[in-house]
């Protein structure tokens, strides 16, 4: 999918937030954290080089640095904070905030349409390279969280 932009202006920085429900049978960030990583990669593209993750009382913070120096941050909130997904992007000196209304159901309709298209055509809505980059990002975030410090996304 590549990097998003608004008109001719590229997104310079992105912060996304949403719930982090942890499923004991999965790696820490795979259950709900993957949705935040997908948002970051849709906004900034697949070229994340390093990740730093830290745990706070109310959330985990994952900060990625992209190859061109841009940063993306995922704020992974505890479930009791609610299931609202938000994003803030910086374009030049301007910032724009976005929120997905938890009662808005059309995003499920799009998900089903994309899945049906994939089964019909065999073409994934997200390139395989981007999906693999997201998995590497999540793995590096867990390594960083457990070891402390920055981890490479290789």
pLDDT at 41: 96
Range of the domain at 97: 5-146
Flag whether 130 is in a domain: yes
Flag whether 86 is in a domain: yes
pLDDT at 74: 98
Flag whether 63 is in a domain: yes
Confidence of residue 110 (pLDDT cuts 50, 70, 90): confident
Tell me, what CATH number does 38's domain have? Answer: 3.30.360.10
Q: Are 72 and 43 in contact (CB under 8 A)?
A: yes
Flag whether 151 is in a domain: no
Name 90's bridge partners: 13, 95
Stretch 27-32: mean pLDDT = 92
Is the pLDDT assigned to residue 106 strictly greater than 80? no
Domain count, the chain: 1
pLDDT at 9: 80
* CA separation for the pair 153, 133 (Å, rounded): 8
Flag whether 53 is in a domain: yes
Confidence of residue 7 (pLDDT cuts 50, 70, 90): low
Q: In the chain, what is the straight-line distance between the N-terminal and C-terminal CA atoms, in Å?
A: 20
Q: What is the mean pLDDT of the chain?
A: 90
Is the pLDDT assigned to residue 99 strictly greater than 90? no
* CA separation for the pair 146, 134 (Å, rounded): 19
Name the percent of the chain lying above pLDDT 70: 92
Q: 62-79: b or e for each residue (b if 16 or more CB lie within 10 Å)?
A: bbbbbeeebbbbbbbbee
- The first and second tokens of residue 22, run together, are 């942890």
Confidence of residue 51 (pLDDT cuts 50, 70, 90): very high
Stretch 95-123: mean pLDDT = 84
Model's pTM, two decimal places? 0.88
Flag whether 136 is in a domain: yes
Q: Are 4 and 42 in contact (CB under 8 A)?
A: yes
């Amino acid at each position: 999918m590549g990097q998003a932009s608004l008109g001719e202006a590229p997104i310079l920085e992105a912060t996304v937030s949403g719930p982090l429900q942890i499923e004991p049978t999965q790696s820490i960030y795979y259950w709900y954290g993957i949705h935040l990583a997908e948002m970051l990669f849709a906004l900034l593209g697949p070229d994340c080089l390093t990740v730093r993750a830290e745990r706070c009382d109310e959330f985990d913070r994952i900060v990625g640095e992209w190859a061109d120096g841009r940063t993306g941050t995922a704020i992974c909130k505890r479930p009791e904070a609610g299931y609202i997904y938000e994003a803030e992007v910086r374009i030049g000196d301007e910032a724009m905030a976005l929120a997905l209304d938890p009662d808005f159901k059309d995003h499920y309709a799009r998900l089903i349409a994309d899945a049906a298209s994939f089964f019909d055509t065999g073409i994934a809505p997200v390139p395989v390279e981007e999906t693999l980059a997201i998995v590497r990002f999540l793995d590096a975030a867990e390594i960083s969280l457990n070891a402390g410090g920055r981890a490479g996304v290789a």
